[in-house]
Structures are given as structure tokens and as C-alpha cells.
Amino acid sequence: MTEGLVVRGLSKRFGGLVVSDGLDFDLPPGARKALIGPNGAGKSTFANLVTGIHAPSSGSIRFDGADISDMDETARVRLGIAKTFQITTLFTGLTVRENLRLAVLERERRGFRLFCRADGDPEVEAEIAALMDQLALEPLADRVVERLAYGQQRLVELAMTLALKPRVLILDEPAAGVPGSETHLITDAIEALPADLAVLIIEHDMELVFRVARSIVVLVAGRILTEGTPAQIASDPQVRELYLGGAHG
């Protein structure tokens, strides 16, 4: 079964502005793809279309053979399509541990349980501990998220999505704002992901892109300019012009 995520003719307009223009895109299980492109190219919008935050103007999204174009965000997440936000979106008033606990409990569909303790399941607590361990978040476990440094919040953002055990993982600029000394936590985490998980990473940090991606898609002004292996992309004259021409912010 190689199907995974299949996007055909996907378009999105905001008023008169065409932000996604007939995109065709595949993300089979086990894929490690990167989506790059200049600011405002429509990368985040594409991610939002796939996860159901925005409704497409036209086109279709299929996942494992089923059409999910009309599903809402919650249903898609429950199918296993999850993403991190470019702008950190966390439960700012809760602690790191509570954030992760909430994510794990919702994944387990326990959010409607009234008569047990949220922190009462040792298995859940162990899983949270392992996640925090992986991203070096343990020392911050009981700190309230809004009091963390931005880079630390980015790591929590990643942990929240990993806690969902997704089958398709979309990372929208996971390393933006993370200090250089800590980006290895992110690359390590991505490299440690299960082999059959499909990963799409949106990133401006080319070093990170070349480390984790096996295939790169270049998006410009809502259209796919080209797609290829890192080596092909690195030597593509169009891409070189795009990036060396100063369009990259």
C-alpha cells in the first residue's frame, strides 16, 4: 500500500488572491519531503489546506484512498494527519506536562471522561516523560508554557504533534526561532521517527532541509516550480536564481 496522501488540482483563493494554484502532490508512507519557497509562496496555506484548517476553493485531497476534502480538521487529525504551527499555538496557561497530557488523552479519545484523574494513568505519564526526554524538555516539565523562551516553546510545539502519533506529519518551520545550539534536537527527533511515517517539512533553513529530506518540492507564487532530490534541487538553475537572486528572506 503506497497510497498515503494524494493531492490533486488543489487551489485556494483568499478573495482575489490565488495562494495555491492547482497543486498536485504525493506524500506516501515513509516519505521525507521538504517544501521550500520564498516568503508568501503559499507553503503554510498548503499545510493548512491539507490539515483542514482552510477549505480548498477547488481540487481534492485523498488519504489512503478515501476522499477527505470535506472532512473537518478534527476528523483529519484523528485519521493521523497532524501539523505543527509556524506561529507557536499552545495552551499557554498550562504547564508543558499538561499540554502533552492533553494531547495524549485526546489521541486516546478520553477527553469526555469525567470521573477519573487526568494524571491518573501511569502509561500516559510514562509516554509524556519519554516525549519530554526526547526533546530535552524534562527540566521545564512543570513550567507554564507562556513563561518559556520562544525556542523552548517551539520544541513543545513539536512534542505536541509527536504526542499524537501521526501517520502524516507536517512541520511548518519547526526550527524557526530555535537557537542553533538546539536545532539538533529537532533533526534528531525527526530522524528518530518511525520509518513508515510520512513527513513533510516546510523550512527556510537549508542545512536542516538537506539533512532530513530525501526529496524537495519548490513552491513559488502558489505553483510548484520543480521537484527533485536534494542534489537535483541544489544544482537546478531556476532554484539557484530564486535563492541567490535575493528572494529568500
Ligand X SMILES: Nc1ncnc2c1ncn2[C@@H]1O[C@H](COP(=O)(O)OP(=O)(O)OP(=O)(O)O)[C@@H](O)[C@H]1O
Q: Is 114 in the site for other proteins (CB under 8 A)?
A: yes
- 90 vs 140, which CB is nearer to Mg ion? 90
Among 4, 7, 26, 44, binds ligand X (CB under 6 A): 44
Q: How many CB atoms lie within 10 A of CB 59?
A: 18
- Mark 85-104 with x for binding to other proteins (rule: CB under 8 A) and - for no binding: x---xxxxxx---x--xxx-
* Exposure string over 205-236, b if 16+ CB within 10 A, otherwise e: bbebbeebbebbbbbbebebbebeebeebeeb
Helix axes 150-162, 183-191, angle to 10 degrees: 10
Question: Do residues 80 and 166 touch, judged by C-beta distance below 8 A?
Answer: yes
Does 30 bind ligand X (CB under 6 A)? Our answer is no
- In the complex, the smallest distance separating the C-beta of residue 87 from ligand X, rounded to whole angstroms, is 9
Q: Is 199 exposed, middle or buried (0-12, 13-18, 19+ CB in 10 A)?
A: buried
Which of 134, 135, 130, 124 minimizes the C-alpha distance to 101? 124
Helix (H) or strand (E) holding 220: strand 215-220
Q: Per-residue x/- mask for ligand X, residues 75 to 114, rule CB under 6 A?
A: -----------x----------------------------
Which one of other proteins, Mg ion, ligand X, none is in contact with 74 (Cβ closer than 5 to 8 A by kind)?
other proteins
CB of 110 to other proteins, least distance (A): 5
Would you count residue 41 as binding ligand X (CB under 6 A)? yes
In the complex, minimum distance from the CB of residue 95 to other proteins, in angstroms, rounded to a whole number: 10
- Report the interface residues with ligand X, using CB under 6 A: 14, 17, 19, 37, 39-45, 86
